[in-house]
């Protein structure tokens, strides 16, 4: 089984929830987080700063602010990883930077607290 | 690819973020958490505080940069020269695949990249 950790835009949360449950993956954990990415480099701004325009220099160090995002954690069996990833990408892609990242990580075991069963049988099945 | 999860003091977060930016690892996710460590929380008089607020910083880096990033975080997050109880922990776990949503590009642990068709 794999853990799929996705960092997405806040306003895409409801669409993502719906798309995942339509795809047969209803269970998930979500959390409000703050984050930053590689950051956009605006080359016209850099050029301006090099030439010594003060407005451009003032805007330079502004990109490292932390932006509110949603962190989704879904644990799925091996065969559902591709479906989960594709569903999240399809809903969240706007093509601009800031759409987010998806990390896929191995998980040794999962155990249901209610029944103390373990293994793939307690996870979502499509 | 490795995921580095650092639990640091809330007061040290700005230092760590600045240090990571300077070191060339700008991408970070920050989560507010509460927790306790081996010291079983803090005991002040009669009262024990075992839900101490901390910040969890998540970064995903290439395998080769692991030690450098860990050193950067430790350097920025330690209090004083010797450090103190409660400075935090760093956990490292493997990441199999990384997808960038905006471009659909998939990176695997072995360094291959390909575009995902949706």
Residue B21 pLDDT more than 80? yes
Q: Is residue A101 part of a domain?
A: yes
pLDDT at A60: 66
pLDDT at B112: 87
User: Model-level pTM?
Assistant: 0.83
CATH code for position B11 = 3.30.70.120
Mean of per-residue pLDDT scores for chain B: 92
pLDDT at B110: 87
Share of chain A above pLDDT 90, in %: 63
Beta bridge partners of B94: B2
Nearby residues of A53 by Cβ (< 8 Å), 6 or more positions away: none
Contact between chains at A103 and B97 (C-beta distance less than 8 A): yes
Q: Is residue A89 part of a domain?
A: yes
Residue A34 pLDDT more than 90? yes
Interface residue of A93, A94, A108 to substitute, partner B, most B CBs within 10 Å: A93
Contact between chains at B118 and A89 (C-beta distance less than 8 A): yes
Domain span holding position B63: 2-92
Partner residue facing A89 (CB), from B93, B94, B116: B116
pLDDT tens for A40-82 read 666 677 777 778 777 777 766 655 678 899 999 999 999 999 9
pLDDT tens for B30-59 read 999 999 998 888 889 999 898 999 999 999
CA distance B82 to B24: 26
Burial of A36 (0-12, 13-18, 19+ CB in 10 A): buried
Partner residue facing A89 (CB), from B28, B30, B104: B104
CA distance A50 to A74: 45
pLDDT at A62: 58
- At residue A112, φ and ψ (nearest 5 deg) are -80, 130
Number of domains in chain A: 1
Mean of per-residue pLDDT scores for chain A: 87
CA distance A93 to A97: 9
Residues of A with CB under 8 A from a CB of B: 2, 6-8, 31, 33-39, 64, 66, 69, 71, 85-86, 88-90, 92-106
Looking at the complex, does the CB of residue B27 fall below 8 Å from at least one CB of chain A? yes
Q: Is residue A19 part of a domain?
A: yes
Half-sphere exposure of A51 (CA within 13 A, CB side): 8
């Amino acid at each position: 089984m794999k853990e799929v950790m996705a960092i997405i835009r806040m306003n895409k949360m409801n669409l993502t929830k719906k798309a995942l449950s339509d795809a047969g993956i209803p269970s998930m954990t979500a959390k409000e987080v703050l984050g930053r990415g590689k950051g956009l480099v605006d080359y016209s701004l850099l050029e301006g700063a090099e030439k010594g325009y003060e407005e451009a220099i003032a805007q330079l160090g502004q990109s490292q602010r932390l932006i509110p995002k949603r962190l989704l954690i879904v644990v799925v069996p091996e065969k559902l990883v591709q479906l989960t990833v594709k569903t999240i990408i399809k809903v969240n892609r706007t093509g601009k930077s800031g759409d987010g990242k998806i990390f896929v990580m191995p998980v040794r075991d999962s155990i249901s607290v209610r029944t103390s069963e373990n293994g793939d049988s307690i996870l979502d099945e499509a | 690819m490795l995921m580095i999860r650092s639990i640091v003091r809330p007061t040290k977060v700005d230092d760590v973020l600045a240090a990571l930016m300077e070191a060339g690892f700008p991408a970070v996710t920050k989560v507010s958490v509460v927790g306790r460590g081996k010291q079983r929380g803090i005991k002040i008089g009669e009262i024990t505080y075992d839900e101490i607020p901390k910040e969890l910083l998540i970064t995903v880096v290439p395998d080769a940069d692991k030690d450098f990033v860990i050193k950067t975080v430790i350097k920025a997050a330690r209090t004083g020269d010797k450090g103190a109880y409660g400075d935090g922990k760093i956990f490292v776990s493997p990441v199999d695949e990384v997808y960038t949503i905006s471009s659909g590009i998939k990176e695997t642990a072995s360094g291959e990249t390909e575009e995902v068709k949706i």
